[in-house]
C-alpha cells in the first residue's frame, strides 16, 4: 500500500511541479514584459516631453558659457509641469542647470551612461539607484541639437517607485494566483493520480490475497481500459486457480480417505530416507504417530531391527523386497512387508513404498483349520478303531460265544452311535459357522418354553437322582429362533446333569435385565435383555481350563467326557448360537462346588 501511495504522490508531485514551473515561468516572462513595456512607454513620453521643452526654450548650449542661473531657473520651472527632475548638461558634461540640485556643485556628467548613449544614438537611458532619494530612477537624455553632441543634452529623471509599486502589486497577484493554481493543480493531479492508482491498488490487494491462498478474491472491474483488462485477467487467473485448487483438494481428499480406510499400512519413504507419508493403519501396526514421524528419517523411528534393515536394503538396492516378520510392538503381530521402489517420471528413483499387511489373523485361521482337521481325524479314528477291533475279534471266532458277541455288538453299536453324533455335531458346527442356516426369529414366551425343555431332560436327571429345578419370571418374552434356543438350553442342561454326581442339583433361571442388572419381583419395568443362568453342583472346571472350554474338541477330562458320550463340540456350538442371537455367554465355576453358565440375550433382535 505504501509503495502505491508513494507512486500516487510521486505522480501528483511531478504533475504539480510541472504545472508550477510553467506557471512561474509564464509569470516571470509576463512580469518582465510588462515592466519593460511600462518603462518603454515612460521613456517615449519623456523623450516627447523633452522635445517639447526644447522646442519651447531658447537653447544656448555650449555657446552659453556658464549661464547657470538661467538653466537652473528653467529646470525648476519645468519640473513643475513635467513632475520629473530636469537637468541641462553642456556638450562637455558640465551640468548647466538642475531642478533639484545646485548645478555648480555637481560632477561632470560626460561619463554617465545615458549621456554617453545619447551622444552616440541621439537618445540615452539608464536606470540607477539614487542615494540621495534612496530609490531607483529612470534617466532619459537626448541631444539638445540633433546630430551635434557638443551642443549639449537635456535629461529627465523619473522615480521608478510607482512602476515598482505596480510591479510588486502585479507580482503579489501573480504569486497568489500561482498559489491558488498550485493548490488546484495539486488537488486535480492527486485525483487524477488516484484514479489511475486506485484500480492498481485494488489489483495488488487482490493479488496479495490470492498469494495467501484466498482464491475467492476478485477485482471489481469497472473500466474497460488497460487496467480493467489487467483486472479481468487477474480474475480469470483466480477463477482457474480456484477450480484447479478445488480439483486438487477433491483428489487429495479422495486419496486421503482411500489411504486412511485401507486395511493395509502404507509408509512412503523418500530417497533421502525421510518418511513422507504414514497412513492410519500403518500408525496402528507400527505404533507410530504420523504427526510426529512425517518428515523424520526412518532410523529415528524406534523400530524393530529387521524393518530398519529392510528399508535400508530397499533404499540401497532399489529392489522389491517381501518378507513376513513377527512384530512385538505395539502388540504381537505377524506382518507381511512389501517394499517397492518408486521411480518418478519413469526413471528417477524417488524412494520406497512400504505396504504392511497384518497376516496374524489369516495365519491363525490357517493354523486353526489344520488343527481342526487333525482333531476331527483323531476324534473319528477312535470310534472307528473300536468298531473295527471288536468286529475283527468277533470274526476271528469270538462270535461263537453268545455272551461275548452280545457285549461286543453293544460296544460296536455304542461306538457307531458316538461316531454318528460326532459327525452330526461337526456338520452342525460347520453349518452354523458358515451361516448356511438362517435363523427364524419369533417371540417366545419363556416360562412355557423353559418348562417344556426341562421336561425333556427330567428322565435323564431322574436316572442320576439329580434334582432339576426351574425359576422363570412369569410373562417374560424373548425374540429368538426357537429350535436354536432349545438346542442351547438342552446342551447346557445336559452338561450340567452329565458333570454332576448322583444326588446333585441342576437349576435354570431366567431374569429380565435392566441396564445390565437383573431385576425381579414382577417389576413392570422395560427390560431390554434377559439372562438365562444354568447352575449345577457338579465337579466344576479348573481355573486354567475356563478360557478354553468353548474351543472345539476341548475337554477338561477326555476320558470322562467320552464315557459320558460327549463330543467336545457342545459348548462350541452353544457359543456360536448365542452369538448369532447377538448375546454373550460366560461361565463361573469352582472345582468340587459347581458351575454356572450365564447367557445374556437382547429381547429384540
Ligand atoms: P463335552 O461333549 O465333552 O461335554 P462340551 O463342549 O459340552 O463337550 O464341554 C467341553 C468341556 O467343558 C467338557 O469336556 C467339560 O470338561 C467341561 N464342562 C462343560 N460343562 C461343564 C459343567 N457343567 N461342569 C463341569 N465341566 C463342564
Tell me the mean pLDDT per 10 residues along the chain, length 605: 65 81 83 86 89 79 65 86 86 86 85 88 87 82 78 86 81 83 83 81 88 87 83 90 93 92 93 92 88 89 85 91 89 92 88 94 89 88 92 90 92 92 90 85 95 94 95 92 95 95 95 84 74 96 93 86 81 95 96 96 92
Residue nearest to ligand 1 atom 20, measured at CA? 495
* Cα 554 to Cα 558, 560, 568, 572, distances in angstroms: 8, 12, 6, 9
Query: Which is the closest atom of ligand 1 to the Cα of 556?
Result: 16
Strand stretches in 144-281, DSSP E: 153-159, 265-270, 275-278
* Ligand 1 geometric centre to CA of 549 (Å): 7
Q: Is 589 helix (H, G, I), strand (E, B) or coil?
A: strand
Residue nearest to ligand 1 atom 4, measured at CA? 566
Task: Check if 535 has its Cβ closer than 6 Å to any atom of ligand 1.
Answer: no
* Cα 404 to Cα 368, 386, 393, 408, 586, distances in angstroms: 42, 15, 10, 6, 46
Pick the CATH number of 2-166 from 3.40.50.2300, 3.50.50.60, 3.40.50.300, 3.30.450.20: 3.30.450.20
Domain 441-602: assigned CATH number: 3.30.565.10
Question: Looking at residue 1, what is its pLDDT?
Answer: 46
Task: Check if 573 has its Cβ closer than 6 Å to any atom of ligand 1.
Answer: no
* Ligand 1 geometric centre to CA of 260 (Å): 44
Residue nearest to ligand 1 atom 2, measured at CA? 566
Query: Which is the closest atom of ligand 1 to the Cα of 571?
Result: 6
| Residue to probe by mutation, ligand 1, list 379, 489, 495, 573, most atoms within 8 Å of CB | 495
* Ligand 1 geometric centre to CA of 498 (Å): 8
Question: Looking at residue 4, what is its pLDDT?
Answer: 53
* Ligand 1 geometric centre to CA of 494 (Å): 10
Closest listed residue to residue 135, CA positions, set 166, 157, 112: 157
Stated length of the chain: 605
Q: How many CB atoms lie within 10 A of CB 231?
A: 22
CATH class of 262-358: alpha beta
Dihedral sign, CA of 457, 463, 464, 467?
A: positive
Question: Looking at residue 573, what is its pLDDT?
Answer: 94
Question: Looking at residue 337, what is its pLDDT?
Answer: 94
Amino acid at each position: 500500500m505504501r509503495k502505491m501511495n508513494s507512486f500516487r504522490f510521486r505522480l501528483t508531485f511531478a504533475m504539480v511541479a510541472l504545472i508550477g514551473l510553467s506557471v512561474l515561468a509564464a509569470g516571470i516572462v509576463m512580469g518582465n514584459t510588462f515592466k519593460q513595456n511600462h518603462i518603454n512607454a515612460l521613456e517615449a513620453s519623456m523623450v516627447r516631453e523633452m522635445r517639447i521643452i526644447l522646442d519651447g526654450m531658447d537653447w544656448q548650449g555650449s555657446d552659453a558659457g556658464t549661464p547657470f542661473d538661467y538653466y537652473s531657473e528653467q529646470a525648476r520651472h519645468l519640473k513643475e509641469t513635467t513632475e520629473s527632475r530636469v537637468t541641462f548638461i553642456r556638450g562637455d558634461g558640465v551640468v548647466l542647470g538642475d531642478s533639484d540640485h545646485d548645478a555648480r556643485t555637481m560632477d561632470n556628467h560626460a561619463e554617465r551612461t545615458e549621456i554617453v548613449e545619447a551622444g552616440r544614438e541621439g537618445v540615452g537611458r539608464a536606470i540607477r539607484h539614487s542615494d540621495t532619494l534612496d530609490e531607483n530612477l529612470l534617466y532619459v537624455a537626448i541631444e539638445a541639437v540633433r546630430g551635434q553632441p557638443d551642443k549639449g543634452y537635456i535629461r529627465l529623471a523619473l522615480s521608478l517607485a510607482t512602476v515598482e509599486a505596480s510591479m510588486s502589486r502585479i507580482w503579489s497577484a501573480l504569486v497568489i494566483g500561482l498559489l491558488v493554481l498550485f493548490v488546484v493543480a495539486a488537488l486535480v493531479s492527486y485525483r487524477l493520480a488516484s484514479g489511475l492508482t486506485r484500480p492498481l491498488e485494488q489489483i495488488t490487494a487482490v493479488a496479495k490475497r490470492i498469494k495467501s491462498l484466498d482464491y475467492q478474491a476478485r477485482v471489481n472491474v469497472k473500466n474497460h481500459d488497460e487496467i480493467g483488462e489487467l483486472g479481468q485477467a487477474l480474475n480469470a487467473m483466480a477463477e482457474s486457480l480456484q477450480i484447479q485448487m478445488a480439483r486438487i483438494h477433491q483428489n487429495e481428499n479422495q486419496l486421503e480417505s482411500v489411504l486412511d480406510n485401507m486395511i493395509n499400512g502404507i509408509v512412503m519413504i523418500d530417497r533421502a530416507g525421510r518418511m513422507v507419508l504414514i497412513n492410519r493403519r500403518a500408525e496402528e501396526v507400527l505404533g507410530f504417530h504420523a504427526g510426529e514421524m512425517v518428515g523424520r528419517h526412518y532410523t529415528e523411528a524406534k523400530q524393530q531391527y529387521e524393518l530398519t534393515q529392510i528399508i535400508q536394503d530397499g533404499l540401497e538396492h532399489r529392489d522389491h523386497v517381501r518378507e513376513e516378520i513377527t512384530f512385538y510392538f505395539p502388540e504381537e503381530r505377524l506382518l507381511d512387508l512389501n517394499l517397492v521402489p518408486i521411480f518418478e517420471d519413469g526413471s528417477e528413483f524417488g524412494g520406497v513404498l512400504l505396504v504392511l499387511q497384518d497376516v496374524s489373523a489369516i495365519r491363525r485361521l490357517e493354523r486353526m483349520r489344520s488343527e481342526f482337521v487333525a482333531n476331527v481325524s483323531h476324534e473319528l479314528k477312535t470310534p472307528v478303531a473300536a468298531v473295527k477291533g471288536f468286529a475283527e475279534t468277533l470274526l476271528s471266532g469270538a462270535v461263537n460265544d453268545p455272551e461275548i458277541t452280545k457285549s461286543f455288538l453293544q460296544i460296536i453299536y455304542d461306538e457307531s452311535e458316538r461316531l454318528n453324533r460326532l459327525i452330526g455335531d461337526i456338520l452342525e458346527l460347520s453349518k452354523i459357522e458358515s451361516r448356511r442356516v438362517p435363523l427364524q426369529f419369533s417371540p417366545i414366551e419363556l416360562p412355557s418354553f423353559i418348562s417344556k425343555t426341562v421336561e425333556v431332560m427330567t428322565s435323564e436327571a431322574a436316572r442320576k437322582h439329580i434334582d432339576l429345578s426351574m425359576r422363570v419370571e412369569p410373562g417374560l418374552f424373548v425374540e429368538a429362533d426357537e429350535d436354536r434356543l432349545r438346542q442351547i438350553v438342552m446342551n447346557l442342561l445336559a452338561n450340567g446333569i452329565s458333570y454332576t454326581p448322583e444326588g446333585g442339583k441342576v437349576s435354570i433361571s431366567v431374569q429380565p435385565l435392566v441396564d445390565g442388572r437383573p431385576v425381579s419381583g414382577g417389576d413392570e419395568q422395560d427390560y431390554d435383555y434377559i439372562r438365562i443362568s444354568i447352575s449345577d453342583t457338579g465337579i466344576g472346571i479348573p481355573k486354567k481350563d475356563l478360557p478354553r472350554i468353548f474351543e472345539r474338541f476341548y475337554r477338561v477330562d477326555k476320558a470322562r467326557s467320552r464315557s459320558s458320550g460327549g463330543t467336545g463340540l457342545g459348548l462350541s456350538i452353544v457359543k456360536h448360537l448365542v452369538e448369532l442371537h447377538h448375546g454373550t455367554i460366560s461361565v463361573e465355576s469352582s472345582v468340587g462346588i459347581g458351575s454356572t453358565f450365564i447367557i445374556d440375550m437382547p429381547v429384540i433382535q
